[in-house]
Amino acid sequence: GRALLVLLLSGTVSLLGGLIFGYELGIISGALLQLQADFQLSCFEQEVLVSAVLIGALLASLAGGILIDRHGRRRAILVSNVVLLGGSLILTLARAFTVLVIGRMTVGFAISVSSMACCIYVSEMVAAHQRGLLVSLYEAGITVGILLSYALNYIFADVDEGWRYMFGLAIAPTAMQFLSILFLPVNPVKLSSWDSDCQKGLIPLQDTEDRAAAKREPYQEKHYSFLDLFRTRDSMRRRTLVGLGLVLFQQFTGQPNVLGYASKIFHSVGFQSNSSAILASVGLGAIKVVATLVAMALADKAGRRVLLMAGCVVMAISVTTIGLTSRTAPLAMARDCKAAAGPNASHSLTQHPLTPVLPQAAVSPVPPASGAVKSQAGPGFAATGSLTEVFASTQSKEVVPNPSLTQKRDLAGQAKKGTLESTGPPLGAAAWAQHTVLNWITLLSMMAFVSAFSIGFGPMTWLVLSEIYPAGIRGRAFAFCNSFNWAANLLISLSFLDLIDAIGFSSMFLLYGLMGVVAVIFIYLFVPETKGQSLEEIDQQFSRKR
């Protein structure tokens, strides 16, 4: 009975942790519209507000590892919950722009610490044959959280100061997670009586003194310094290579940017304006949820390596296909930022076919969901604009353009339709019609990419990271890789415009395809299979291999 209770509570903690993460990333897109009107935000201020989460998360991934290793996983999650409650209260009661930024940074810090601690805690808490399922539950929580945030953006879109409710509602799942974890043991030592498999996953403890010491000072049997991550001791360098390789390839296969084009691709297939955005967000969101559930079911059966490699192959094929089809049927790109100035200035949408000839400022990878880039801005500013996308695609979570945003975007009702027609793609409607088949191929490739990511890199990266390091340094190692994940994401989103400018849209996607192929080779050569093994066995497997 106790074993089942611990299993259910571990699952709840994992799912709620993911749900909060996804919710906080998705909610800003709807809130931003109202905030911009209520606080008269300029485009730059919208940008700062959106990227505040990223700054908080980066800080957390630098400091969080020490917290997780020194004070234990459970305490780290409890602390992150308290910080998140504080951040949500600050946002709910905010009366000034600066307070909003501080609130978002606090929230970013909390969800980053929580994301690391949850994966590690759950992986240590459950038996080897259930670990894949329960750690992947975190990723499933994220996809559900993003969908939930869109639903609430819709509900509160017309409510006066609805953004307060949007930010405030994060308090409910946070409080639930806090309560769930209070009933869980501090560290797995106390559970060893009911699960020999779990016991194998721990450092063997001979007598009662050792056991008592372990309760006070969990996981410190072997002491590691941070620099041991780069030394040959216990094959630590190889583990660090595996961890960094996974997080970097997760980003360099194009995940942060591919989704920025989702609504454009839906549009080109013929789904117009509002329905396009609804389909893009809800449709892709639903596909992600289903794919993540498939990954959860297969993680402990097929294994991590198989899912990573299969996902990678499909991703490489689909981005290559998008690259090839966009050579023949170029996508029209939209840029949009509303600086609060009045109904007429509310919607400046320009469309261009995407070619390398364009000045950077005309092209943006930012999806409408988080678009906050000044159309008139110079190249440097345009690059910073993609920060808006960064925040939502980090840690393997992507932005899906938000329906309520597009619906609410015009103050002048039909303005959008008019603007689209007047500035329409220079290719003309006939050219679009000719490429219907290609557009559908692009759309299907996009769906395949999203599914493959959600089966492979999405959940598996974090699962493998929570397994491959020795307990004594697991928190710091996870945080170290995590900080590279945020940094790579930032780099990609910032350099995206320059790269498109230099080599063109289709070449960019073909480059992502090439990275996918390299990633498959990397996984084949370096990433070990960890399914069904206790954490101690995985540790020994690494220590033996040179």
Of 453 and 332, the one with more pLDDT: 453
Determine what percent of the chain is predicted with pLDDT higher than 90: 30
Q: What angle do CA 506, 512, 514 make, to 5 degrees?
A: 105
370, amino acid identity: S
- Collect all residues with Cβ–Cβ distance below 8 Å to 425 and sequence separation of at least 6: 332, 351, 352, 353, 431, 432
pLDDT of amino acid 339? 59
Which of 42-46, 126-130, 155-159, 449-453 reaches the highest mean pLDDT?
449-453
Q: Which of 20-34, 212-226, 434-448, 476-490 has the lowest mean pLDDT?
A: 212-226
Handedness of CA 406, 409, 413, 417 (dihedral sign): negative
Q: Which of 166-170, 396-400, 494-498 has the lowest mean pLDDT?
A: 396-400
Residue 419 has pLDDT above 60, yes or no: no
229-332+431-545 has the same fold as 1-185: yes
CATH homologous superfamily of domain 1-185? Answer: MFS general substrate transporter like domains (1.20.1250.20)
Q: Cα-Cα-Cα-Cα dihedral of 36, 41, 42, 46, to 10°?
A: -70
CATH of domain 229-332+431-545: 1.20.1250.20
Q: How far apart are the first and last CA of the chain?
A: 42
Average pLDDT on 398-407 reads 43
520, amino acid identity: V
Residue 530 has pLDDT above 60, yes or no: yes
For the chain, give every domain's residue range.
Answer: 1-185, 229-332+431-545
What does pTM read for this prediction? 0.72
